């Protein structure tokens, strides 16, 4: 069983919109509109229990998942959502031991999920041109205990990555087409990459550049998620829905057409 320590993150959960990610050490008393919750009383207990506020309201004490941590890390302006990240991970085939190159680091939300999945044995090499962002992301990644799997680099990734033979790549910058040549050099031939772009114009330019640089299996798509309010006799989709986060573009690196293998025509 997982026991709560003073330094453990706990997710205090009421419903989808009312939840708090806190540590007993930092927030001994959690003040909510439902009353005060004494977090120090949770230390030594296991996750999954219920806790009663001073106003008698019940809250659930959960162990945060990687999704909870990502959502906490994400800046308000961040457009990457778990719906997009989950699909990216499957497309990229990221798993224990993978070596992944990423630019830009941003708030570190994507970095955190990549790091979570490549452990043990793998590494995420994450680049950002902005030292301030990089520093903040580093703190975030440390806070959630994933720093061992991440190498942070402050760099304009258009100038190239230090790594080669990478298993997968992630582009989350405003001008991803400018990084395509560098990405190609960094990736193993056949390796998958993903790029995140909010606008159709970015996707358009990116795909054109990918084709020029010999990437294959290029595909752009968007993922929409809608909640279903499942209640006995009155089930209906949620009125609220996020209309758009970003377009995702996927492609596979290739070794170029110079060394294509010819199929000899078999004699009859």
Find out whether 14 and 59 touch, Cβ atoms under 8 Å: yes
Least separation, in Å, of the C-beta of 75 and a second copy?
A: 15
Residue 42: how many CA atoms within 13 Å on its side-chain side? 35
3-state secondary structure 110-145: HHHHHHHHHCCCCEEEEEECCHHHHHHHHHHHHHCC
Q: Can you read off the two tokens belonging to residue 251?
A: 């492609």
Least separation, in Å, of the C-beta of 83 and a second copy?
A: 6
**52 vs 159, which CB is nearer to a second copy?**
52
**7 vs 131, which CB is nearer to a second copy?**
7
Least separation, in Å, of the C-beta of 138 and a second copy?
A: 21
Least separation, in Å, of the C-beta of 114 and a second copy?
A: 11
**42 vs 137, which CB is nearer to a second copy?**
42
Do β-strands 10-15 and 247-252 pair in parallel, antiparallel, or remain unpaired?
A: unpaired
Find out whether 125 and 182 touch, Cβ atoms under 8 Å: no
**162 vs 238, which CB is nearer to a second copy?**
238
Least separation, in Å, of the C-beta of 214 and a second copy?
A: 9
**59 vs 179, which CB is nearer to a second copy?**
59
Find out whether 21 and 70 touch, Cβ atoms under 8 Å: no
């Amino acid at each position: 069983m997982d026991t709560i320590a003073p330094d453990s993150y706990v997710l205090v959960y009421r419903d989808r919109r009312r939840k708090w990610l806190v540590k007993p050490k930092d927030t001994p008393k959690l003040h909510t509109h439902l009353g005060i919750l004494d977090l120090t009383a949770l230390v030594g207990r296991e996750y999954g229990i219920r806790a009663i506020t001073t106003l008698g309201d019940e809250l659930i004490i959960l162990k945060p998942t990687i999704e909870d941590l990502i959502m906490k890390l994400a800046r308000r302006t961040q457009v990457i959502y778990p719906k997009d990240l989950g699909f990216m991970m499957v497309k990229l085939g990221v798993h224990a031991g993978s070596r992944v190159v990423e630019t830009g680091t941003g708030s570190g939300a994507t970095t955190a999920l990549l790091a979570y999945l490549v452990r043990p044995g793998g590494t995420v090499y994450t680049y950002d041109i902005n030292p301030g962002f990089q520093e903040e992301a580093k703190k975030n990644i440390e806070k959630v205990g994933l720093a061992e799997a991440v190498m942070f680099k402050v760099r304009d990734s258009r100038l190239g990555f230090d790594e080669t033979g990478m298993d997968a790549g992630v582009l989350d910058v405003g001008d991803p087409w400018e990084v395509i040549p560098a990405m190609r050099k960094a990736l193993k031939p056949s390796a998958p990459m993903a790029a995140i772009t909010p606008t159709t114009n970015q996707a358009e330019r990116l795909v054109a550049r990918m084709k020029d640089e010999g990437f294959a299996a290029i595909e752009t798509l968007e993922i929409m998620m809608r909640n279903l309010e499942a209640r006995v006799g009155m089930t209906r989709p949620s009125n609220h829905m996020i209309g758009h986060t970003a377009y995702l573009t996927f492609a596979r690196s290739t070794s170029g057409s110079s060394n294509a293998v010819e199929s000899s025509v078999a004699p009859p």
